[in-house]
Structure 1
Amino acid sequence: MKAAILSPVAWRTPPRHYGPWEQVASNIAEGLIKLGVDVTLFATGDSVTAGKLDAICEQGYEEDRTQDAKVLECLHISNLMEKAGEFDIIHNNFDFLPLTYTGLIETPVITTIHGFSSQRIIPVYKKYNSRGHYVSISNADRSPELNYLATVYNGLDTADFKFTEQPGNYLLYFGRIHHDKGAAEAIEIAKKAGKQLLIAGIIQDENYWKEKVEPHLSDQVVYLGPAGPEKRNELLGNALALLHPINFAEPFGMSVAEAMLCGTPVIAFNKGSMPELIQHERTGFLVNSTDEAVTAVNDVSRINRNYCREWASANFSKEKMADDYYRLYQQILSV
């Protein structure tokens, strides 16, 4: 089987720091290669893969801001679609834009919907409902207007995450500095619980940072900047708990799975996919307010960190994700 994996071109695949869609595309590609699939990864030229790499740019537009994002996207997607006949199947990890080519090519396209930036993009998905082969990344993140082939949870390379049995005494916020991710709520929880909070992630909303986060920085609330793979392991593994007080219906939440792979329980607002990722009172706590989160912080020592690791390994591994997608590829190609 010859498969083309289409990754975004905002960041390198896999990303150096931030880039969740690029990370998943990388894990799919590398997992399929181990299953014997002939994979070509369409990504930035500095991307890393054990398969073939096809690129129209050396760096992503977020890492080289001299490039125009829309131009790069058009060149990138058209590069693959003009070679569609070389592949048995195309796996789209690039949102809705590649769908507009699917009526012009014979090669089937399976699309992982990594989330909806807005309801305004639904009409494109609806147009290609009959031929889209859509996959959701959680049951929570589904539109009633679309037809789905399956749900496949995002998978991580479990070997990248070191289990830590004895954590430190700090809480961790790990993600974009943005209202959606709840950095301000994490600060409030940590202060009420009397715990130190370490914050790691890119500043995505400057105004939010200046108004809601920066004024609270102190010995108790420490901003560390973005964290790469080495620092991520140390931060997640040594945390007493990951705080994930999201203000939106999150489609998946990579840091939640990453924390549990390190043995670290997660305290999250009960929204979006969180009930699918977290087993309440077994791998963390699903709460509805900052006060409930503070109570959970006090109860977090009851959580078995070994079980957190086992749960995440069984449900959110790269191997399971690749197996699930491989079966879907076979299902599509056998029709």
Structure 2
Amino acid sequence: MRIAMIAPIAWRTPPRHYGPWEAVTSLLTEGLVELGVDVTLFATQDSLTSATLDGVVPAPYCEDASIDAKVWEYRQLAHVFAQAGQFDLIHNQADFPAHAFSGLVDTPMVTTIHGLSSDRILPMYKPFENRIHYVAISEADRHPQLRYTATIHHGIATDDFPCNPAGGEDLLYFGRIHPDKGTREAIEVAQRTARRLHIYGPVQDHAYYEREVLPRIDGNRVVYHGAVGGVVRREALSNTYALLHLINFDEPFGLSVVEAMACGTPVIAVGRGAMPEIITHAMTGFLVDDVEGAIAAVGLIDTLNREAVSAAVSRNFSVERMAQDYLRLYRSILEEIR
């Protein structure tokens, strides 16, 4: 089986720091290679993989201002689809632009939908639903107007996030700085529970950051560390009391939530989007309605067993499980067309 894996080009695959779509693409690619699948990863030329790397994009557009996103996205797609006949299946991880090419080739195609940002993009999804096999990353993220072939939860490399039974005393916010992600709410919970808060992630909404976040950062009780990856990311997720994920939107999945739980860190999350699919209330964390509920949940964290939190991730959200799920999907698609 030969698979063409199309990665996004906003960041390197895998990302150096931030880049959830690229992170999942990398994890799945490596998991499939481990299962003996012949994968060609189409990604930026600086990407790292044990699969075959094929890239025409010199660098990620979020890291190099000379890279025009639209120009190079379509340059990459033209490069991929010119070779479509060499592959048994094309797996698109890079949103809807690839759909424009799908009717020009016979190779079956899968698109993992990493969250529909707006109904305005449905015109590049709905007309292609009988040609392309759509995969939702959570049941909560299935759009009622679209036809899906499967729901496959993301998986992580659990060995990269070993359980820390001791944890820490401080609270953690991990994600982009944006009102959707509840940065201000996390700060309020930390202040009202008299715990230090560490904030990690890129600033996505600068006006929000300057208005709601920056005035509350004092370098002591509220500390902002920026976007991090690698060992620093793991230590941040591991050496903490609880992760605050007080979202104001329907989160499609939440990689940092799973990574934190793999480290044994319980998560306090607003119960929207995929959170009830990821967090088992009062076992791996707490699902709350608002800031008041989150404050109450902080007082219950010591009732949870960090080893049990970590074990739940190993059972349900490993990269091995994710790769097996996708391999079964590929095989079922190819069997249908034989």
TM over 0.5: yes
Superposed CA offset, 1:186-221 (max 9, x none) = 001111111100001111111111000000012111
| Between 321-330 and 225-234, the greater mean CA deviation after superposition | 225-234
Distance 1:228 1:146 in 2: 34
Distance 2:58 2:48 in 1: 12
Distance 1:149 1:315 in 2: 20
Partner of 1:120: 120
Partner of 1:307: 308
- The residue identity in structure 2 corresponding to 1:313 is S
SS at match of 2:5: strand
Partner of 1:98: 98
- The residue identity in structure 1 corresponding to 2:168 is G
| Structure 1 residue 70 corresponds to structure 2 residue 70 | yes
| Structure 1 residue 320 corresponds to structure 2 residue 321 | yes
Distance 1:328 1:61 in 2: 31
Distance 1:302 1:292 in 2: 16
Equivalent pair of 2:177/2:202 in contact (CA under 8 Å):
yes
Equivalent pair of 2:190/2:197 in contact (CA under 8 Å):
yes
Superposed CA offset, 1:213-243 (max 9, x none) = 0000121111011111211111111110000
Partner of 2:52: 52
- The residue identity in structure 1 corresponding to 2:201 is G
Equivalent pair of 2:174/2:201 in contact (CA under 8 Å):
yes
SS at match of 2:126: helix
Partner of 1:158: 158
Alignment of 1:1-335 (within 5 A): 1-218=1-218, 219-335=220-336
- The residue identity in structure 2 corresponding to 1:180 is D
**TM-score, normalised by the number of residues in structure 1:** 0.99
Equivalent pair of 2:6/2:91 in contact (CA under 8 Å):
yes
- The residue identity in structure 2 corresponding to 1:209 is Y
Number of aligned residue pairs: 335
- The residue identity in structure 1 corresponding to 2:85 is G
Distance 2:335 2:78 in 1: 27
Distance 1:228 1:123 in 2: 35
Superposed CA offset, 1:258-315 (max 9, x none) = 0000000000011000000000000000000101100000100111111111111111
Equivalent pair of 2:59/2:67 in contact (CA under 8 Å):
no
Distance 1:72 1:196 in 2: 43
Q: CA deviation at 1:159?
A: 1.2
Distance 1:296 1:222 in 2: 22
Structure 1 runs not aligned, ≥5 long: none
Q: CA deviation at 1:77?
A: 1.2
Distance 2:230 2:289 in 1: 30
SS at match of 2:140: coil
- The residue identity in structure 1 corresponding to 2:321 is K
SS at match of 1:111: strand
Structure 2 runs not aligned, ≥5 long: none
**Root-mean-square deviation over aligned CA pairs:** 0.7
Distance 2:108 2:50 in 1: 24
Distance 2:123 2:318 in 1: 32
Superposed CA offset, 1:8-50 (max 9, x none) = 0010000000000001111111111111111000000010110
- The residue identity in structure 1 corresponding to 2:273 is G
Superposed CA offset, 1:94-116 (max 9, x none) = 11111111111000001100001
Identity score, percent: 52
Q: CA deviation at 1:162?
A: 2.1
**TM-score, normalised by the number of residues in structure 2:** 0.98
Superposed CA offset, 1:39-72 (max 9, x none) = 0000000101101001112210011111111001
Q: CA deviation at 1:129?
A: 1.2
Distance 1:104 1:72 in 2: 20
